[in-house]
Structure 1
Amino acid sequence: MAASTKNDRVGTVETRGIEPVPDSERRGHASQMFWTWFAANISLLGLPLGATLVAFRGLNIWQAVLVAVAGSVGSFALVGALSIAGKKGGAPALTLSRAVFGQRGNHGPTLVTWLSRVGWETITTTTAAYALLALLNTVFGVERGTVLTLLCLLVFIACTLMISGLGHATIMWINKWATVVFGILNLVVMGFLVATVDWSKVLDHPAGPASGVIAGIGFIAAGTGIGWANAGADYARYLPQSIPGGRLVRASAFGAGIPLVLLISLGSLLTAGDPALATSADPVAAINALLPSWMAVPYLIAAFGGLLMSNHLSTYSAGLTMITLGIRVPRAWAVVLDVILMFLGGIYFMLIADDFYGPFSTFLTLLAVPISAWIGVIAVDMVRGRQYDPAGLMDTGRGSRYWYTGGFNLPAVLAWLAAIAAGLTFTKAATGADDVWFAGPLADSWLGTNGLGWLIAIVTAGAAYLLLGRRPPLSADPAPDPAAGPTTFEEATR
């Protein structure tokens, strides 16, 4: 561990994997979480989320803004709360999860998390490749083709690999400064997009039902913070334990909330004036068509850069999650393996699949349920005052402190499985009326039609673990150092 002090420097490859960060190597401020989540959400993917609220949920612009605030700010406050475990235990989220589910029981949540990350990366990579194709066509007049599509995918993936491969310190540095640059570009582009809106159509758009607002909040939460909740600790693990947890919650909520509310609201505004955005197979081209030709280049650069900011974070977390699954490779090589899968996924979306938004929404709907179930268990465990044993987290053998019963902490695993079953009971995932991927027996109930299966999963998981599980025995873990910071969740969030 002596060489690990060189792990976290800007421009050098982070050699640390999933092992906990010692207190002596912790540094930074809560504001890092603000820049992290601002960067992750400055991409154009917020626009189609807003488009969906109007086109498919029937909301007007004022309802859409309300939904954007409640769904994005609220869900990222949860991300911030869960990231407290990262500064407390010094390890990535799914590595810390071993203490809760057991060394073997943790494989299920970890696999789901990895699939979620790869899926998000594929969507982001596809959208960025569309942006690059449009940029080449605008500047050089080059038409889209199979070879050029593959090349654009590879360029974006290479940029992602360059940042994610270097690791935590480089990511934190880039997040701050790139967010400023691309944030300004996005504001300029957004100003011109607002000027294209048909305000008479927007203001005449009727209000949707209250159920649509509830469903919209659930959809936005599932598509924003819920998807990142199992990664918050990955970026908080280098922070000192002395930082109050409440600061992490506020930094995460406002860092993500500011860009998301603006982008989701703008997507809703554009769709209320013209529903074409919600049904476009190429969202980048649909937005580009709304701008004057001279704005195309800065818009496409902003689109590419914003998507890169999101993708390198997802790829970094996916690499850590892959190692937690048991892939015995250095962290940087785990990132390489991940981007190969990202490339294959991009090929499917761009060269094989006919629909972009259908698979996007279906993907969010299904994976939100098991991720939400994990959130419910982890949240209850944190409230109970979990302490993390660094040696126990890394010991995957039968002698591990977190081996429990055959490698499974049965109360946590059973609560997670029960919550998945409950959530899927109220879930319907479909790309259209004639293409239903999955429909639970109560998917047509009020809860199901309003897309609240993920919320059912959180509540069920928390309640089941509360009943089945016992408070983690603090005496079984190393005694906390009073000088290291708060030890209970209540103290940590003050």
Structure 2
Amino acid sequence: MSETATSGSGLEQTRRLGVETTGIEIIEESERTARPRDLFWPWFAANVSVFGISYGSFVLGFGISFVQAVVVTVVGIVVSFALCGVIAIAGKRGSAPTMVLSRAAFGVNGQKVPGVVSWLVSIGWETFLAILAVLATATIFDQLGWSGGTTTQVVATIVVALLIVSASVAGYHVIMRMQSVLTWITGLATIVYVVLTLDEIEWSAVSAIPDGSVQQMVGALVMVMTGFGLGWINIAADWSRYQHRDAPGAAIVGWNTFGGAVAPVLLVVFGLLLAGSSDELSAGIVADPIGTLGTLLPTWFLVPFLLAAILALVSGAVLGIYSSGLTLLSLGVRIPRPAAAFVDGVILTLGTIWVVFFAEDFLGPFQSFLITLGVPLAAWAGIMIADIALRKSDYDDEALFDPAGRYGSVDVTSLATMVGASVLGWGLVVNNFATDATWNNWQGFLIEPLGLGTYVDDPAGPYWEGPWAYANLGVLLALVLGFGVTFVARRAKVRRQES
């Protein structure tokens, strides 16, 4: 069966079997029944997590005041999810997964380069969420005075893996129903958490935090954008491909942005108030986010808090694993979509087991690797957004699967732009885990030549000095370069393709 073959009765099979059989093929017209407001549920459920409260400590860690941190939080979260909304327009126009639609910009075969990056990012971050869920279970059990040892971690790993893998294998329609339920559960638990911890806020301490520099605000802004919207941008069209082709683009962007941003904005601002009230609490959150947040709660609410935290993390991981399975298919792996999701779920499970039970020095290097991939992902996002902005009509369905079609096999301009923007971007970011991931200390090679900072090779651990060193300008540079070069250099080519 060809890659472009439609599922025929995909929706009927889903209703009968409970498993979505549609893979990366174009969604049939009869199945495009979703409405823009339906996008609210998956994005809200995946981001209404108490883990978002911990970002308050991360943002203040850049040395900025509460007011500056609020500005950075609102701008970073809203803008980054709005960019996801722009990518989601492609899903409505083409009714195919994000990495298939990206073939219009990179070519049918050229797309495999950003496809591999996207697959690694999705697998990596969702494994990280699963790890947090398992470790949070052990921490909360310790606080309850129950066993938080190996047995607890084994059971937690099995439960978390089963939840993530089973939902991802079931597919779009089951996930959408699941997310609408999780939204209420996690949302209610989060509200209760906020009410129970309001008395921990000391406004005098929060308001006394001094202002930071513009450079520190930029660094916090990049961190917020990367941790929220940009972390989802490579899968944004996967959740809009069931939208009717006549759905307004503004509505797609609006509901995507509202669903993704509303909870994180409120949660991070509350986290700023908590972290700004206590240096001890702020330091603890950095070391153990969910466990430290749990120390503020009465014993009777620890179990509901744990369940809500796990379900929220699982909710985010489900979206990622479902999409990573679609990306795997777009790379040419010829297996059914449920099997692809299962394969990625197994990889996630093995990664979680390795980190939780065996690895002695893995989490730091692992996070460093994922942050490194964020630069080429930002470059891809800039290219994709520019390509969407340049196109005035829907995608040519057949050409997305035909190297001899109008999109071609390899778009040299897009690939060169992505590589160039990534290299320059890596030159302006630093390795935040310099001691744990010394193999990644080559990053930031443009900082000293441009006078933006100085590398200090201290025996206790290398670090950077200078106002711009930790601003991580490379992510923004890669995003802007990807967009700017593509918008200018490929304008004529896109016009020819659409004619």
TM-score by length of 2: 0.88
Q: Give CA deviations for 1:303-345 in whole Å, capped at 9, x if unaligned.
A: 1111121111111111111111122111111111111211222
**Could you tell me whether the CA contact under 8 Å between 1:76 and 1:257 is conserved in 2?**
yes
Q: How many residues align?
A: 471
Q: What 5-or-longer segments of structure 2 have no aligned partner?
A: 1-6, 453-466
Q: Secondary structure at the match of 1:323?
A: helix
Q: 2:421 aligns with which of 412, 419, 422?
A: 419
2:42 aligned partner:
36
**Residue matched to 1:76:** 81
Structure 2 contact 168–319 (Cα < 8 Å) conserved:
yes
Mapping 1:217-228, distance limit 5 Å: 217-228=221-232
SS in 2 for 1:429: coil
RMSD: 2.4
3-state SS, counterpart of residue 201 of structure 2: coil
Which residue, out of 428, 431, 440, partners 1:429? 431
1:356 shift after superposition: 9.0
SS at 2:433 equivalent? strand
C-alpha distance in 2 between matches for 1:350 and 1:430: 22
CA pair 347-47 structure 1, distance change in 2 beyond 3 A: farther
Q: For residues 80 and 370 of structure 2, what CA distance do their matches in structure 1 show? A: 14
The structure-2 alpha-carbon separation of the partners of 1:278 and 1:124, relative to structure 1 and needing over 3 Å to count, comes to farther
Out of 149, 154, 158, the residue aligned to residue 154 of structure 1 is 158
CA 1:169 to 1:412, structure 2 compared with 1: closer, same or farther past 3 Å?
same
Say whether residues 1:99 and 2:101 are aligned partners. no
Residue aligning to 1:174: 178
Partner amino acid, structure 2, of 1:90: S
Q: How does 1:16-35 map to 2 (within 5 A)?
A: 16-35=22-41
Task: Report the more deviating stretch, 258-267 or 69-78.
Answer: 258-267
Greater Cα offset, 24-33 or 385-394 = 385-394
For each residue in 1:357-416, what CA deviation from the matched residue of structure 2 results, as whole angstroms up to 9, or x when unmatched? 855763553222111111111111112116422222234xx54443x3xx3111111111
Query: Does the CA contact (< 8 Å) of 1:58 and 1:208 recur in 2?
Result: yes
Which residue identity lines up with residue 163 of structure 1 in the other structure? A
- Equivalent position of 1:451 in the other structure: 472
Partner of 1:288: 294
Q: Does 1:461 align with 2:482?
A: yes
Query: Partner amino acid for 2:476?
Result: L
Counterpart position of 2:206:
202
In the TM superposition, residue 137 of structure 1 has moved relative to its aligned partner by 4.7
Percent sequence identity over matched residues?
Answer: 33
Q: Does the C-alpha gap of structure 1 residues 131 and 433 become closer, same or farther in structure 2, counting only changes over 3 Å?
A: closer
Question: What does residue range 322-341 of structure 1 map to in structure 2 within 5 Å?
Answer: 322-341=328-347
**Residues in 1 aligned to 2:294 and 2:29: alpha-carbon distance in whole angstroms:** 48
Aligned residue in 2 for 1:300: 306
Match of 1:483 in 2: none
- Structure-to-structure mapping, 1:361-400, within 5 angstroms: 362-363=368-369, 365-385=371-391, 387-395=394-402, 398-400=403-405
Structure 1 alignment gaps of length 5 or more: 480-494
Task: After superposition, give the CA deviation of every residue in 1:185-237 in whole Å (9 maximum; x if it has no partner).
Answer: 11111222232234443232222222222211111001111111111100000
The offset of 1:427, in angstroms, is: 1.2
CA deviations 1:398-454 (Å, max 9, x no partner) are 54443x3xx311111111111111211111122256855232222352655311211
Shift of 1:113: 0.6
Distance 2:360 2:22 in 1: 41
Contact kept in structure 2, 1:222 and 1:364, CA below 8 Å: no
2-side partners of 1:443 and 1:7: how far apart? 55
Task: Report if the CA contact (8 A) 1:426-1:452 is conserved.
Answer: yes
Q: What's the CA shift string for 1:74-122, capped at 9, x where partnerless?
A: 1001101110000100000001111211122111101111111111111
Provide the TM-score with structure 1 as the length reference.
0.89
